[in-house]
Structure 1
Amino acid sequence: MALEDKKPPTRLEVAGVVAFYMFAALVMVFVNKAVLNSAPDLPFSLLFIQVLLAVVLLRIAAVFHPQRFRTEPFTFEEARIIFPVNAVGIGGLVFNTFCLRDVDATFFQIARGLLLPITIFVSAIMTRKAPRRNVNLAAAIVSIGFMIGVSPSSNFNSRNPFQSVANTGLIYGISSSFLTAIHAVMGKTQVSRKVPIVQLAYNNNLLCSCLLLPFVFMNGELSKLRDLMMNAENGEFRVFFTGALVTGVFGLFLSLAGLLSIKVTSPVTHMFSGAARSVLQTGLGVLIFGDIVTMHRLASVGIITAGTLYFTWIQNSRSNANATILPIHTPKEERFSDARISEKLGR
């Protein structure tokens, strides 16, 4: 009876959720890029502030709405269960941040373009189920788009067109995709456990902050932060601190937007919004950072997006129930929604 009384979302609600999701995702990418441009030696500090701020915000929300935002301390046994998944997830997040730091904003989505094929491959190995032929075709389309994007004529840094993008930037992107794919499949165990999503988000962020803190020390970032504060008049500290706060808040917004998107939109709608976001991200990269867009880059983004849309159409046409959203752009969102892709691929 409850299901019958539940009203479907209106077009205005769907449009609002999609717009909110796109805006939060774009803010995350470009503010992170601006912060990393101003303070490239502080990647772990940036991530630590972001996840710690998410923990603080969830705790504050729990004070005002304890029933909706339950953030109970988790036990050692719970920490032991979620530690492997979080360790892999934070690794993907770190490599993603390194990739964004070292490549142009327009090339960033290309550098991480192998996420779908790698996820299909990892899922096939871990579930011991061969993907269907049309799923392999979607992976092949995306892979072709990636190869076009990393070809020599498009693989350069727009701030110096004669300087090739460091190979490390591309390696970071592929490493991020690989770890994110493993995280997506491993994360199925978290989703299968009957833990409220807010509690799961709180536990994950709290554990991630504990995992990141040692790297802040080992990378010597405390002294770099002190130097940045001592030279605050040059504006770099203000950019770093403000950007870290903004991305921390919007990271939490993005996770909520991802959950809302799962609730009120179809996978196809979500992926079409992702395609539109790719176009906007490319255009904004040119306007904000002066990135140079070649025909190879445009073709690459278009082919990768087309392959991902085709994959979504395949999965959605197979089953409209329990639809899955593939995280292809923003790692912050991945920690909340990527675990669901393994359920789709395992069918």
Structure 2
Amino acid sequence: MKEHQGDLCSRYIKIFIVVSCYWVVSIATVFVNKTLLSSDSVSLDAPLFITWFQCVVSFTICFILSRTGGIPGVFNFPKGSPWNLDVVKKVIPLSIMFTLMIATNNMCLKYVGVAFYYIGRSLTTVFNVLLSWLLLRQTTSLRCVLCCAFIIFGFYLGVDQENLLGSFSLLGTIYGVIGSLMLSLYSIFTKKVLPSVNQEIWLLSYYNNAYSIILFLPLILINGEVGVLLKYTNFDSTFFWVQMVIGGVCGFAIGYVTSLQIKVTSPLTHNISGTAKACAQTVLATQWYNETKNYLWWSSNLIVLCSSAMYARFKQIEMEVNSRKPLSEEKKSLV
């Protein structure tokens, strides 16, 4: 009994440490990206270039880990090359979604405040339900649909209150909605692509970052950032490159701690942890940037957060019930 209690205590301590690391890394990543994208200390109006550089840093770390085999005593990095033609053909469609997802997320963060960032990107769950029906012909229970309706209402209320407070950005909100759509598509098609990389999340991250480095180049050109980069005068600043590298390391770290949290807990716990983290992130942002929000603005956040958590819980109950029923492979959810 004592040994069992000791093992249980050790497991809880491990879960607490992992979840705490996820919170710290995730919140730090958002604040670091906001600083890079819109602060006077960087003053580089080239958000896609900044995102591209973060992919370069993530790819470099993955490349080193692939050569060393991982971190001894921590984890083993799977073997694989992103330049295999067969792998490229299978993964590149997902990498396009990945590129658009991180690009629109950072574009959203450039134009909206950290406090409003969660609301601006809160429609991922709604798109999951909609795309599951359109692409998979998978129906959703009424209570989950009602949760989505409340999320939409919370999103609308948040946009309305942000507009009344004078800090609303239509462009940033549009990027947030597109980012939510891309994240939903990415989540759905990831399961289709994972068998092509032997179910290895690390390999998929390695390949996505490798291909994104190339895919970002035409986007940077189309967005008119080449002229901005040519005129930028702080490329010789050590402080600038330190900030850029920190942003890249944070981008890599968030992928690792997210996978680790799901591994030591569960997808449901990850969703709940992410929802609670978003709430803490919003409170921290209002304090950090000295922003004053009204009651209805806070209500919109609470509606979105609670509705998202309830959706995750209802979905888990449905999955537990469905797991007891024999289903054909094509009918299983990809979300």
The answer, yes or no, to whether TM exceeds 0.5 is yes
Aligned to 1:143: 152
> For residues 238 and 273 of structure 1, do their structure 2 counterparts lie closer, same or farther at Cα, with a shift above 3 Å needed?
farther
> For residues 320 and 252 of structure 1, do their structure 2 counterparts lie closer, same or farther at Cα, with a shift above 3 Å needed?
farther
Amino acid at match of 1:207: Y
> For residues 70 and 320 of structure 1, do their structure 2 counterparts lie closer, same or farther at Cα, with a shift above 3 Å needed?
farther
Encode CA deviations 1:195-245: one digit per residue, 9 max, x unaligned: 42222211111011110123334434344334333586xxxx666533321
> RMSD between aligned alpha carbons?
2.6
* Structure 2 length-normalised TM: 0.84
Q: State how far apart, in whole Å, the 2-side matches of 1:289 and 1:240 are.
A: 22
Q: State how far apart, in whole Å, the 2-side matches of 1:300 and 1:287 are.
A: 18
Encode CA deviations 1:156-181: one digit per residue, 9 max, x unaligned: 6xxxx5x4523111111111112222
Shift of 1:307: 0.9
For the 8 Å contact 2:95–2:212, the answer to whether it is kept is yes
Encode CA deviations 1:290-311: one digit per residue, 9 max, x unaligned: 3332222211111111111111
Q: How many residues align?
A: 312
Aligned to 1:335: none
The question of 1:272 aligning with 2:272 is answered yes
In the TM superposition, what are the counterparts of 1:43-58 in structure 2 within 5 Å? 43-58=47-62
Given candidates 103, 107, 114, the residue that maps to 1:98 is 107
For the 8 Å contact 2:158–2:301, the answer to whether it is kept is yes
Q: State how far apart, in whole Å, the 2-side matches of 1:320 and 1:14 are.
A: 23
> For residues 131 and 116 of structure 1, do their structure 2 counterparts lie closer, same or farther at Cα, with a shift above 3 Å needed?
same
Q: State how far apart, in whole Å, the 2-side matches of 1:111 and 1:275 are.
A: 14
Aligned to 1:154: 162
Q: State how far apart, in whole Å, the 2-side matches of 1:229 and 1:218 are.
A: 22
Unaligned runs of 5+ in 1: 1-6, 324-341
In the TM superposition, what are the counterparts of 1:1-347 in structure 2 within 5 Å? 10-38=11-39, 39=43, 41-65=45-69, 68-151=77-160, 153-155=161-163, 161=165, 163-193=166-196, 194-230=198-234, 240-319=240-319, 344=333
> For residues 65 and 306 of structure 1, do their structure 2 counterparts lie closer, same or farther at Cα, with a shift above 3 Å needed?
same
Unaligned runs of 5+ in 2: 1-6, 71-75, 324-330
Q: State how far apart, in whole Å, the 2-side matches of 1:77 and 1:224 are.
A: 37
For the 8 Å contact 1:35–1:239, the answer to whether it is kept is no
Shift of 1:83: 1.5
Shift of 1:259: 1.1
Q: State how far apart, in whole Å, the 1-side matches of 2:141 and 2:37 are.
A: 40
For the 8 Å contact 2:123–2:177, the answer to whether it is kept is yes
Q: State how far apart, in whole Å, the 1-side matches of 2:202 and 2:84 are.
A: 16
Q: State how far apart, in whole Å, the 2-side matches of 1:257 and 1:322 are.
A: 29
Q: State how far apart, in whole Å, the 2-side matches of 1:182 and 1:268 are.
A: 19
Encode CA deviations 1:259-286: one digit per residue, 9 max, x unaligned: 1111111334323322331222112212
For the 8 Å contact 1:71–1:202, the answer to whether it is kept is no
* Structure 1 length-normalised TM: 0.81
> For residues 149 and 122 of structure 1, do their structure 2 counterparts lie closer, same or farther at Cα, with a shift above 3 Å needed?
same
DSSP 3-state at the match of 2:162: coil
* Greater CA drift, 112-121 or 181-190: 181-190
Shift of 1:287: 2.6
> For residues 165 and 79 of structure 1, do their structure 2 counterparts lie closer, same or farther at Cα, with a shift above 3 Å needed?
same
For the 8 Å contact 2:82–2:210, the answer to whether it is kept is no
> For residues 136 and 51 of structure 1, do their structure 2 counterparts lie closer, same or farther at Cα, with a shift above 3 Å needed?
same
Percent sequence identity is 24
For the 8 Å contact 1:103–1:165, the answer to whether it is kept is yes
Shift of 1:51: 0.8
Q: State how far apart, in whole Å, the 1-side matches of 2:140 and 2:104 are.
A: 27
* Greater CA drift, 298-307 or 260-269: 260-269
Amino acid at match of 1:165: F
DSSP 3-state at the match of 2:58: helix
Aligned to 2:73: none
Shift of 1:100: 0.7
Aligned to 1:326: none
Amino acid at match of 1:191: L
> For residues 73 and 216 of structure 1, do their structure 2 counterparts lie closer, same or farther at Cα, with a shift above 3 Å needed?
same
Q: State how far apart, in whole Å, the 1-side matches of 2:294 and 2:154 are.
A: 14
Shift of 1:133: 1.4
Amino acid at match of 1:47: T
Aligned to 1:333: none
Aligned to 1:327: none
For the 8 Å contact 1:88–1:179, the answer to whether it is kept is yes
